[in-house]
Amino acid sequence: MTNERQGDLVARDRAHLWHPYTQHATEAAPLPVASASGSILRLEDGREVIDAISSWWATLHGHGHPQLVAAMRNQVETLDHVLFAGTTHEPAVALAEGLLEVVPAGLTRVFYSDNGSTAVEVALKMVRQTWCHSGEPQRRIFLCLDGAYHGDTFGSMAVGDPDPFFLPFEPMLFEARRVPAQAEAIHQALEELGDRCAGVIFEPLVQGAAGMQMQTVAFVQELREQCDRFGIPLIADEVMTGFGRTGSLFACGKAEISPDILCLAKGLTGGSFPLSATLTSERFFNAFLSEDRTRAFFHGHTFTANPIGCAVGLASLEVCRREDTPGRLENIGSTIHASLARGLANNPRVENLRRMGGIAAMDLVPPGGMERGYLSSLQPALRAAALERGVLLRPLGNVLYALPPASTTVDQCERIAEVMIELVALCDEKA
Ligand SMILES: *Cc1c(COP(=O)(O)O)cnc(C)c1O
C-alpha cells in the first residue's frame, strides 16, 4: 500500500468516525492496520507492530489462528444467524456443553449475549429477579470493589468505580456499595447492608482497568466464604481473566472456588468475534420456572448465541486444551516478568512490579509534578514511544503492563520487555 492510500484512510476516518475511549482533540492519528497474524499487526505502510495487549485483552491464541478461521468459515457457510428464541442450533449447544465441562463446578446453565458489559448486565438482572421471585424484593444493593470495572452500560457502570470514566452518569446509576478489596471492609459492609444486599460482584485475581491490581488467592476464598455466610450470590466477572490469562483456564479455578454466576466474553471466541456468556447454577434457572409467563427472564439480544460466534468459541476451547493456552500464557508472562525484574532492579521509577499468569505490570513513578491515575499525561507519550519501537502498549495511566496473546515468541517477549524498560528510562529523561 502506498503512503498516499494510508493518508487517505486516516483522513476518511477523521472525517466520520468516533473512536472508543479516545479524546479526538489531542490524540495521535489512528494506526491504519492492514492485517494481523499471530502476535503481529501489519500496518498499511508495511510496518509491523507487536500486539502486546492482545487487542484490548481479547486476542487469545494469536490473530488469525487457522483453526479459528476455519471454524468461522465453515459456520458462515452453514448457518450464519438465526434468532435464539424458540430455536436452537448445534454450535450453541456444543459450546455450552464444552464450557460447562471446564468451568468451576456448580455452574449448569449458559445464557449468551454479545459483549462483556452485557454479560454483566444479565448477571445483575438474573440475581435481582431471582430475589423478587423468592420473596425478598428488598434485596437490590450490589457490593463491588474500589477500582472495579465491569463495562460501560448503565448497569455495569453502576457496579464499577465511577472515577474517572463515569462521573457524568453517577447521579443516574442505581445504588451499589463500593468497598476496598479487603476482607474486613467487605464484612462490615455486608453486615450493614443486611437483607438489602443482592450479591457481590468482582474481578477475581486481577482487576484489569483498575491498573492490573492483583489479589491473593486467599482474598478470593475469603470473599466466597463471606458470601456463603451471608447467603448471597457471588458474581465473578472473568471477562478479562477467563481462558488462561492468569495461567489457569479461569481465575476462580486457580483460587479453587466456584462463583454462583460467571461472566465471560473477550477470550471466549479467542478474541475473534463478539460473543459473551453468563453462566449460572441451576438455582437461578429454577427460580424463573413457573406457569406464570411474567416470571420469565425478559432479556435477550438480536445476536444472542450467534452461530458463527459459538462455532469459533468451541474451536477456541479446543485450541486452549490442545495447545495448553494457560500454560503458554504463564510462560510468556514469566519470560517478560523475568526480563523486567533484571532490567529494572532497584529502579526508583518502578513500584510494585507484579505478575499473574500472562499479565506483567508495574506502577511508574511519574516524573516530578505529573499526576498518577488513568488520566496521567504520561500515557500518550508512553504509547507513542512504544509504537516507535514496534510495540503496541496502552498503559493504564501510569501503570505499564503487557498482556500478549499465546502466540508470542520468546524473542517477541524479550522485545516487549526491552521496550518497557526503555519507557521507564524515558520517564527519567522527562524528570
Ligand atoms: C472489558 C471488560 C468488560 C466489558 O466487556 P466489553 O466486551 O468491552 O463490554 C467487563 N468486565 C471486565 C472485567 C472487562 O475487562
* Residues 6 or more apart whose Cβ sits within 8 Å of residue 173: 154, 157, 158, 162, 166
The rounded mean pLDDT for the chain is: 95
**pLDDT tens string 43-81:** 999 999 999 999 999 999 999 999 999 999 999 999 999
What is the β-pairing status of strands 276-280 and 109-113? antiparallel
**pLDDT tens string 177-195:** 999 999 999 999 999 999 9
242 touches ligand 1 (CB under 6 Å): no
Question: Which pLDDT score is estimated for 2?
Answer: 47
150 touches ligand 1 (CB under 6 Å): yes
236's enclosing H/E stretch is strand 234-237
Which of 156, 266, 275, 303 has most ligand 1 atoms within 8 Å of CB, for mutation?
A: 266
Homologous superfamily of 31-64+325-430: Aspartate Aminotransferase, domain 1 (3.90.1150.10)
Question: Which pLDDT score is estimated for 387?
Answer: 97
Report the C-alpha gap between 34 and 80 in whole angstroms.
25
The alpha carbon dihedral of 75, 79, 82, 85 has a sign of negative
Report the C-alpha gap between 56 and 78 in whole angstroms.
30
Nearest ligand 1 atom to the CA of 237 is: 13
116 touches ligand 1 (CB under 6 Å): yes
Torsions phi, psi for 114 (to 5 deg): -130, 10
Biggest alpha carbon distance in the chain? 70
Is cis: bond before 164, omega within 30 of 0?
A: yes
User: Cell digits for 88?
Assistant: 436452537
* Alpha carbon 52 to its chain's center: 15
Report the C-alpha gap between 232 and 166 in whole angstroms.
27
Instruction: Give residue for cell 430455536.
Output: 87
Question: Which pLDDT score is estimated for 375?
Answer: 65
Active site residue 401: no
Torsions phi, psi for 111 (to 5 deg): -115, 120
Active site residue 237: yes
Q: Which of 112, 114, 149, 401 is catalytic?
A: 149
User: Cell digits for 160?
Assistant: 464499577
**What is the pLDDT averaged over residues 368-382?**
76
Residue 392 CA, ligand 1 centroid: distance in Å:
20
Question: Which pLDDT score is estimated for 245?
Answer: 98
**What is the pLDDT averaged over residues 278-289?**
97
Task: Assess whether pLDDT exceeds 50 at residue 372.
Answer: yes
Report pTM.
Answer: 0.97
Question: Which pLDDT score is estimated for 20?
Answer: 96
Q: Where are the domains of the chain?
A: 31-64+325-430, 66-323
**pLDDT tens string 131-152:** 999 999 999 999 999 999 999 9
Nearest ligand 1 atom to the CA of 118 is: 9
Strand partners, 214: 206
Residue 136 CA, ligand 1 centroid: distance in Å:
29
* Residues 6 or more apart whose Cβ sits within 8 Å of residue 58: 266, 267, 271
Task: Assess whether pLDDT exceeds 60 at residue 3.
Answer: no
Question: Which pLDDT score is estimated for 261?
Answer: 98
According to DSSP H, which parts of 135-216 are helical?
A: 154-158, 183-193
Nearest ligand 1 atom to the CA of 208 is: 15
Report the C-alpha gap between 22 and 24 in whole angstroms.
6
322 in Cβ contact with 212 (< 8 Å): no
**pLDDT tens string 247-268:** 999 999 999 999 999 999 999 9
Torsions phi, psi for 263 (to 5 deg): -105, 125
**Percent above pLDDT 90 for the chain:** 92
Question: Which pLDDT score is estimated for 427?
Answer: 85
pLDDT bucket at 121, cuts 50 / 70 / 90: very high
Residue 150 CA, ligand 1 centroid: distance in Å:
6
42 in Cβ contact with 48 (< 8 Å): yes
Instruction: Give residue for cell 465491569.
Output: 150
Report the C-alpha gap between 162 and 137 in whole angstroms.
26
Active site residue 125: no
Distances (CA, A) of 139 to 69, 92, 95, 122, 297: 45, 33, 33, 17, 18
Q: Which of 112, 114, 260, 266 is catalytic?
A: 266
Residue owning the nearest CA to atom 6 of ligand 1: 116
- 1-7 long-range CB contacts below 8 Å, 24 or more apart? 1/34, 1/44, 1/45, 1/46, 3/45, 5/44, 6/32, 6/43, 6/44, 6/45
**DSSP calls for 329-364:** HHHHHHHHHHHHHHHTTT-TTEEEEEEETTEEEEEE
Residue 151 CA, ligand 1 centroid: distance in Å:
5
Kindly report the CATH number that applies to the domain delimited by 66-323.
3.40.640.10
Report the C-alpha gap between 276 and 238 in whole angstroms.
11
Report the C-alpha gap between 330 and 365 in whole angstroms.
27
**pLDDT tens string 304-337:** 999 999 999 999 999 999 999 999 999 999 999 9
User: Cell digits for 69?
Assistant: 478461521
User: Cell digits for 64?
Assistant: 488469525
Residue 175 three-state SS: coil
Report the C-alpha gap between 64 and 400 in whole angstroms.
27
Task: Assess whether pLDDT exceeds 70 at residue 1.
Answer: no
Question: Which pLDDT score is estimated for 338?
Answer: 98
**What is the pLDDT averaged over residues 372-383?**
79
Based on its alpha-carbon atoms, the radius of gyration of the chain, rounded to whole angstroms, reads 22
